[in-house]
């Protein structure tokens, strides 16, 4: 129920109180839905305005997948207090987004599902908030859900705080019970379920206002935006002093260099948009126009006192992939940007915006490192939608040396599966060097926790979805580096490879169905060396998919077979990346995705295999 305009005012006074709050939670725990209701009840929209659901998920990919990928800033005005809110991603692969925007906040709104309780990402984001000494406000969301257990979840949250070694002040957290979809929050479950004012009141009373520091200007750039008209826009929080329009300032870069510049325009966040102002007070979050060479992590400082702030600490990437220009037959037919220079510029441009991404030039392309397959696949999907053509190789984990020994990243895997299928998951996890930590049964479901090397999780989800008929729910997050766990078996099935170029013929595919499953359909245009299916054995099979039926004048009753071709297997981008072997690449274009061998010619593949075998025997 919407509150009255007298309560949710829209004051423009710069001297009003400020609260900077980041909304953090595990994926699908209802952050963006709760934000929708906050915006509605703060009269951000007109009464008759048609508003789409999940208004903060503005990107097409976010709407298609139902997840938040990039953090967004917005502000509401409640009881003469401007509350700067930051909607953050809930998936662990986008943890870099969360880590950098937490620098702008004084408190966090921790959302936890009333049924699922604290999940892996809940622990991850809360741990980061604790390190920065941010004040938490807990929201136990979806209490109207069937089988909700709000009291038990509250105890689990308190235990999580204890495990993370929270201070006494942090342990004395406040919270509300809420149903974000219906737009109400209550201090106690017996209270009247009216609107979200108890939550907003708690933010004002429990989250401290920003500390006001007098002295020369210091502002940490924690996010970036771009405009075709004004160029780069730096978004951050004024940590010390006051920032004024046309004020001479310097950019203290991460490499130690200093660049003289000027703040040409200043904007503070107002509802879903921005409002231009003449000056920004200490503690407020603003957007600065006119900083041509600004990057995330830079410090905007006073020209006469160029003091840099501490650089934003981001966890290192755990997974890397090799990006190459597309050299398949027919390259450039579907994409607009195909050259190495265009791919390079796009990757380095992304690395400037995404602080968790690393891009390095390699001999045969570009080594791109990130937090996980989803992190890198979102980049690929954005690139293909922009018109890029490129190829990517098999995902590789990033090894380190600790104490003179080889170490690899290990992740915490949480699994929710029906009781009768738990054995299947445990057995497969053991083959991937997984170590079971906990096992708990609740009604008809079993909850399992494993420590699994990141290598073992590549392809794990798709395999288990098939083995459990889609009934498994799993999440994982980075835990730590541990000593190398030993070899893990790769894909056990070989590939079916096209022998010739041309269109696939139904007669040929029908005759080859007993050899495996196919990724292509009759009529698809193929090329030599393209992977068109998965072989039922552990070796590769080269086939003629263009073989047509021989036509003659002779016919015999019943001699012609009736063709029944099984539907082709269509993989998503993540599934295709997990399917790849070491000698295979994924060709990505705006219109299609194709699997192919590194060497298209069969003789070249045999020579490469001999060289690899010889080098391994020499070692």
Are 542 and 568 part of one and the same domain?
Answer: yes
What is the percent of the chain where pLDDT is above 90? 18
Dump pLDDT digits (tens) for 112-125.
Answer: 988 888 887 778 78
CB atoms within 10 A of CB 416: 17
Pick the closest to residue 308 from 316, 294, 298 (CA basis). Answer: 298
Q: Has residue 5 got a pLDDT over 70? A: no
Residue 179's domain spans which residues?
17-206
Cα dihedral 381→383→384→386 (10° resolution): 120
Mean pLDDT of 72-96: 81
Residue 366 lies in a domain: no
**Which element (helix H / strand E) includes 370?**
strand 365-370
Residues 21/106, Cβ–Cβ less than 8 Å: yes
How confident is the model at residue 560, as a pLDDT? 55
* Distance between CA atoms of residues 549 and 396, nearest Å: 43
Are 589 and 442 part of one and the same domain?
Answer: no
Angle (CA) 135-139-144 rounded to 5° is 175
Residue 331 lies in a domain: no
SS3 call for 34:
helix
Residues 296/100, Cβ–Cβ less than 8 Å: yes
Q: Has residue 42 got a pLDDT over 90? A: no
CATH assignment at residue 141:
3.40.50.300
Dump pLDDT digits (tens) for 361-412.
Answer: 988 889 999 888 888 998 999 999 999 999 999 999 999 988 889 999 998 8
* Distance between CA atoms of residues 287 and 274, nearest Å: 8
Are 196 and 93 part of one and the same domain?
Answer: yes
Comparing 198 with 310, the larger pLDDT belongs to 198
DSSP secondary structure, 77-144, as one string: EETTEEEEEEE---SGGGHHHHHHHGGG-SEEEEEEETTT-S-HHHHHHHHHHHHTTPEEEEEEE-TT
Burial class for 547, CB neighbours closer than 10 Å (0-12, 13-18, 19+): middle
Structure tokens at 140: 């136990």
Structure tokens at 324: 């190459």
Residues 45/51, Cβ–Cβ less than 8 Å: yes
Residue 8 banded pLDDT, cuts 50, 70, 90: very low
How confident is the model at residue 281, as a pLDDT? 87
Mean pLDDT of 562-575: 85
SS3 call for 611:
helix
* Distance between CA atoms of residues 89 and 72, nearest Å: 9
Are 65 and 174 part of one and the same domain?
Answer: yes
Are 197 and 234 part of one and the same domain?
Answer: no
* Distance between CA atoms of residues 138 and 168, nearest Å: 16
The DSSP bridge pattern shows strands 396-397 and 319-324 to be antiparallel
How confident is the model at residue 497, as a pLDDT? 93
Residue 136 lies in a domain: yes
Angle between helices 120-131 and 150-163 (to 10 degrees): 50
* Distance between CA atoms of residues 383 and 363, nearest Å: 22
How confident is the model at residue 612, as a pLDDT? 77
* Distance between CA atoms of residues 591 and 389, nearest Å: 10
Residue 346 lies in a domain: no
Mean pLDDT of 235-242: 88
Are 193 and 224 part of one and the same domain?
Answer: no
Residue 254 banded pLDDT, cuts 50, 70, 90: confident
**Which element (helix H / strand E) includes 460?**
helix 460-467
Are 21 and 136 part of one and the same domain?
Answer: yes
Dump pLDDT digits (tens) for 317-341.
Answer: 889 999 999 989 888 888 899 999 9
Comparing 69 with 412, the larger pLDDT belongs to 412
Angle between helices 460-467 and 422-431 (to 10 degrees): 150
How confident is the model at residue 407, as a pLDDT? 92
How confident is the model at residue 587, as a pLDDT? 93
How confident is the model at residue 477, as a pLDDT? 82
Dump pLDDT digits (tens) for 464-507.
Answer: 888 888 888 888 888 888 999 888 887 788 899 999 999 999 98
CATH assignment at residue 265:
2.40.30.10
Please report the beta strands in 142-298, taking only residues with DSSP state E, as ranges in sequence order: 174-179, 184-186, 218-227, 231-240, 243-244, 248-252, 258-262, 265-270, 273-277, 279-280, 285-289
How confident is the model at residue 392, as a pLDDT? 94
Residue 606 lies in a domain: yes
Are 37 and 70 part of one and the same domain?
Answer: yes
Residue 274 lies in a domain: yes
The half-sphere exposure of 23 on its side-chain side, counting CA atoms within 13 A, is: 32
In whole numbers, what is the pLDDT of the chain averaged over residues? 83
Are 267 and 407 part of one and the same domain?
Answer: no
CATH assignment at residue 542:
2.40.50.250
Residue 550 banded pLDDT, cuts 50, 70, 90: confident
Dump pLDDT digits (tens) for 180-189.
Answer: 888 888 888 8
* Distance between CA atoms of residues 606 and 38, nearest Å: 62
How confident is the model at residue 56, as a pLDDT? 53
Domain termination site, one of 302, 327, 344 = 302
What is the percent of the chain where pLDDT is above 70? 91
Comparing 316 with 160, the larger pLDDT belongs to 160
Residue 304 banded pLDDT, cuts 50, 70, 90: confident
SS3 call for 418:
strand
Q: Is-above-0.85 flag for pTM?
A: no
Mean pLDDT of 537-566: 76
How confident is the model at residue 465, as a pLDDT? 84
* Distance between CA atoms of residues 130 and 128, nearest Å: 5
Domain termination site, one of 145, 178, 206 = 206
Comparing 477 with 44, the larger pLDDT belongs to 477
* Distance between CA atoms of residues 488 and 502, nearest Å: 37
Q: Has residue 2 got a pLDDT over 70? A: no
Are 428 and 478 part of one and the same domain?
Answer: yes
SS3 call for 619:
coil
How confident is the model at residue 89, as a pLDDT? 80
Are 162 and 293 part of one and the same domain?
Answer: no
Q: Work out the end-to-end distance of the chain between its first and last CA atoms, rounded to an integer number of angstroms.
A: 71
* Distance between CA atoms of residues 130 and 25, nearest Å: 14
Domain termination site, one of 269, 284, 302 = 302
Q: Has residue 1 got a pLDDT over 70? A: no
CA 465 to mean position of chain CA atoms: 20
How confident is the model at residue 558, as a pLDDT? 54
How confident is the model at residue 276, as a pLDDT? 87
- What total of structural domains would you count in the chain? 4
Strand order in the sheet with 72-78: 72-78, 81-87, 17-25, 107-113, 135-141, 174-179, 184-186
* Distance between CA atoms of residues 16 and 79, nearest Å: 10
Mean pLDDT of 353-362: 85
The half-sphere exposure of 245 on its side-chain side, counting CA atoms within 13 A, is: 9
Residues 213/239, Cβ–Cβ less than 8 Å: yes
Residue 339 lies in a domain: no
Task: Please write down the HEC assignment for all residues of 59-94.
Answer: CHHHHHHCCCCCCEEEEEEECCEEEEEEECCCCHHH
How confident is the model at residue 11, as a pLDDT? 34
Mean pLDDT of 69-92: 82
Mean pLDDT of 545-559: 71
Are 296 and 432 part of one and the same domain?
Answer: no
CB atoms within 10 A of CB 322: 18
Residue 45 banded pLDDT, cuts 50, 70, 90: low
Residue 319 lies in a domain: no
Dump pLDDT digits (tens) for 259-279.
Answer: 888 888 888 888 777 888 888
């Amino acid at each position: 129920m919407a509150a009255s305009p007298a309560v949710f005012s829209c004051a423009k006074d710069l001297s009003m109180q400020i609260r900077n709050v980041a909304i953090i939670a595990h994926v699908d725990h209802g952050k963006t839905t709760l934000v929708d209701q906050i915006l509605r009840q703060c009269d951000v929209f007109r009464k008759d305005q048609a508003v789409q659901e999940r208004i903060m998920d503005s990107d097409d990919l976010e709407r298609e997948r139902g997840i938040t990928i990039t953090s967004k800033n917005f502000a509401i005005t409640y009881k003469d207090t401007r509350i700067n809110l930051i909607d953050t991603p809930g998936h662990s692969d986008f943890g870099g987004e969360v880590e950098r925007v937490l620098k702008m906040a004084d408190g966090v709104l921790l959302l936890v599902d009333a049924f699922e309780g604290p999940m892996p990402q809940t622990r991850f984001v809360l741990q980061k908030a604790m390190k920065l000494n941010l004040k938490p406000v807990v929201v136990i969301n979806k209490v109207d859900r069937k089988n909700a257990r709000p009291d038990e979840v509250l105890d689990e949250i308190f235990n999580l705080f204890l495990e993370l070694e929270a201070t006494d002040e942090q342990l004395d957290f406040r919270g509300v019970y809420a149903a974000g979809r219906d737009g109400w929050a209550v201090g106690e479950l017996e209270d009247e379920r009216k609107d979200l004012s108890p939550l907003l009141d708690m933010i004002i009373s429990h989250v401290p206002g920003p500390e006001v520091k007098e002295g020369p200007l210091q502002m940490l750039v924690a996010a970036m935006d771009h405009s075709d008209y004004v160029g780069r826009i730096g978004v951050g929080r004024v940590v010390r002093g006051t920032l004024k329009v046309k004020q001479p300032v310097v950019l203290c870069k991460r490499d130690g260099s200093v660049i003289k510049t000027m703040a040409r325009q200043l904007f503070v966040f107002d509802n879903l948009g921005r409002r231009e102002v003449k000056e920004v007070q200490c503690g407020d979050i603003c957007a600065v126009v006119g900083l041509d060479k600004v990057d995330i992590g830079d410090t905007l400082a006073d020209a006469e006192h160029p003091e840099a702030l501490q650089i934003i600490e981001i966890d290192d990437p755990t997974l890397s992939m090799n990006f190459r220009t597309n050299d398949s037959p027919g390259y450039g037919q579907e994409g607009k940007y195909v050259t190495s220079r265009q791919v390079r510029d796009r990757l380095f441009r992304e690395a400037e915006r995404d602080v968790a991404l690393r891009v390095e030039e390699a001999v045969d392309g570009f080594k791109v490192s990130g937090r996980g397959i989803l992190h890198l696949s979102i980049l690929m999907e954005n690139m293909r939608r922009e018109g890029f053509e490129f190829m990517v190789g098999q995902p590789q984990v990033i090894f380190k040396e600790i104490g003179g020994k080889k170490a690899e990243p290990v992740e915490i895997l949480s699994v929710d599966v029906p009781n009768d299928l738990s054995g299947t998951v445990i057995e497969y996890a053991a083959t991937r060097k997984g170590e079971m930590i906990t096992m708990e049964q609740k009604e008809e479901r079993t909850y399992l926790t494993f420590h699994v090397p990141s290598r073992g999780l590549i392809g794990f989800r798709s395999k288990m979805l098939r083995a459990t008929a889609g009934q498994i729910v799993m999440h994982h997050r980075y835990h730590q580096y541990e000593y190398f766990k030993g070899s893990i078996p790769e894909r056990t099935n070989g590939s079916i490879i096209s022998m010739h170029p041309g269109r696939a013929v139904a007669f040929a595919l029908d005759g080859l169905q007993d050899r495996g499953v196919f990724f292509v359909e009759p009529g698809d245009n193929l090329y030599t060396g393209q992977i068109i299916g998965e072989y039922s054995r552990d070796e590769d099979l080269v086939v003629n998919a263009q073989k047509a039926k021989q036509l003659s004048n002779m016919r015999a009753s019943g001699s012609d077979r009736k063709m029944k071709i099984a539907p082709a297997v269509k993989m998503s981008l993540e599934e295709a990346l997990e399917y790849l072997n070491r000698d295979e690449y994924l060709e990505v274009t705006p219109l299609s995705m194709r699997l192919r061998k590194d060497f298209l010619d069969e003789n070249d593949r045999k020579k490469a295999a001999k060289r690899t075998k010889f080098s391994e025997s020499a070692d």
